[in-house]
Chain A
Amino acid sequence: MNTDTTNTTTGTGAVKRGLAEMLKGGVIMDVVTAEQARIAEDAGAVAVMALERVPADIRAQGGVARMSDPDLIDAITAEVSIPVMAKARIGHFVEAQVLQQLGVDYVDESEVLSPADYVHHIDKHRFTVPFVCGATNLGEALRRITEGAAMIRSKGEAGTGDVSEATRHIRTITAEIRALSSRSEDELYVAAKELQAPYALVKEVAETGALPVVMFTAGGVATPADAAMMMQLGADGVFVGSGIFHSGDPVARAAAIVKATAFHDDPAVVAEASRGLGEAMVGINVSDVPAPHRLSERGW
């Protein structure tokens, strides 16, 4: 936090979490060029994720995946007026420092890139820029929030176009929250131990029945119906990675997913949005991905 002489403070929890609140009900789209960022903004994205390769290509090409070139991030930032997010490797606090320096609006400490530290995640309290982190279950989400994450994204399995892992992760997190709310107060100490998360945070979630930060879902969303399903399962919004620009008609698909997300509970709108979108990304079934290549297992 930084307080200046006019009594204004930047980088507070309210400011970091607040931006995520403003993104709710929206779609955050992966883009790899300024031109794609323009398409995303015009289609109604609430933010873009600037990266060099979408997860499907990272998966196909292999190798170590790192933070994007600052020139690429600058080009995308210059192109659009909506928030720009960018990914740092898990634990790579210097990549995060660089992204903050570049003025990105959110840093995604992401399992889609190759981890830089297999023990520690980034201490996100040290930054003015807010962070979003992936989680596959409630304990993982609460550990990330303890480290300073201002937004959570259920992980799914990025770059597959197979929504089953996204479903599993958001169902797991919401079910664990419901289970926590049903526990008596004296059972929360053991719950905190089981979740490997601080007691105060566990108690807060048990009392409110919700995470203290916004939760989007990610990883395998490829169609308007996928996005609407994630929203009905309790997501505050969706990230769409490879699903848009690896499809036959990105312009139409991007706009359709935005509509289906806003009207996720209205099958008439989702049906209309699903028409005539051309080919969805081909995708691969998560069950065909060998366990060592599953990105969602990165992070702990």
Chain B
Amino acid sequence: MSPIRPRIGVLALQGDVREHLRVLEDLGAEAVRVRRPTELEGVRGLVLPGGESSVIDRLTRTFGLREPLRAAIAAGMPVYGTCAGMILLADRLEGAVAGQLTLGGLDVTVRRNAFGRQNESFETELAVPELGTVPVAATFIRAPEVTAAGPAVSVLAELPGGRIVAVEQGPLLATAFHPEVSGENRFHRRLLERVLSS
């Protein structure tokens, strides 16, 4: 495996998998779909896409991916989660479907559907100083938010009023919004940097 073309998995049970694969390929990664434990072999970083978090959780358990994914996170694999992916990375969840689990890893509390229903979904320009001075075009779709973050968590972005929508903790990165649908690739680039330096 070439170190300059790392293999990055996108959890592909449900959601906007195609958009993430495209961004990763454009950045020069070898992007692969992950639906089975064997497909994690050789994967050096992982994206948890947007989608319906309760459905993705259910399918990870049905198809034996939950424990391999938890093991990969525990072993320090760089992971980036968007929207439903942020929910999956959270240690604590508000507004879960009965019995819904998360993979965990990020010491945060995340609230599902924090901004309301689809009528309240929105686009905005978001300052993310860690990514430079150009703001991020952020698309929030029935999005979650971080309602509490532990001491090891860095807040990368807040909305005006202080609602936390992007966080990082070691190799784990999460956004409540979808840079992958608006042509923004700096979060994926950050994931790749983490992979290449690990």
Contact = CB atoms under 8 A, between A and B. Distances in A.
A140 interface: no
Given A25-B13, A262-B13, A19 B142 contact: yes
A15 interface: yes
B84 A22 contact: yes
A103 B117 contact: yes
Given A10-B121, A46-B14, A106-B118, A18 B55 contact: no
Interface stretch (A1-9, A58-66, A67-75, A161-169): A1-9
Nearest to B100: A81
Chain B contact residues: over half helix, strand or loop, or mixed?
Answer: loop
A26 B55 contact: yes
A129 B121 CA distance: 10
Contact of B118 (A7, A46, A105, A262): A105
Interface stretch (B1-9, B71-79, B122-130): B122-130
B84 to A, nearest CB: 7
Contacts of A45: 55
Given A6-B124, A262-B59, A22 B16 contact: yes
A9 B141 CA distance: 12
A206 B120 CA distance: 33
Contacts of A6: 124, 159-161
B120 A10 contact: yes
Interface stretch (B24-32, B46-54, B185-193): B46-54
Interface in A38-58: 41-42, 44-47
B42 interface: no
A220 B24 CA distance: 37
26 contacts: A6-B124, A6-B161, A9-B122, A11-B119, A12-B122, A14-B123, A14-B182, A15-B121, A15-B140, A22-B15, A24-B16, A25-B17, A26-B51, A26-B52, A41-B54, A41-B97, A45-B55, A81-B113, A83-B118, A103-B116, A105-B118, A106-B118, A129-B118, A258-B59, A259-B62, A263-B35
Interface of A: 6-12, 14-15, 18-19, 21-26, 41-42, 44-47, 81-83, 100, 103-106, 128-130, 258-259, 262-263
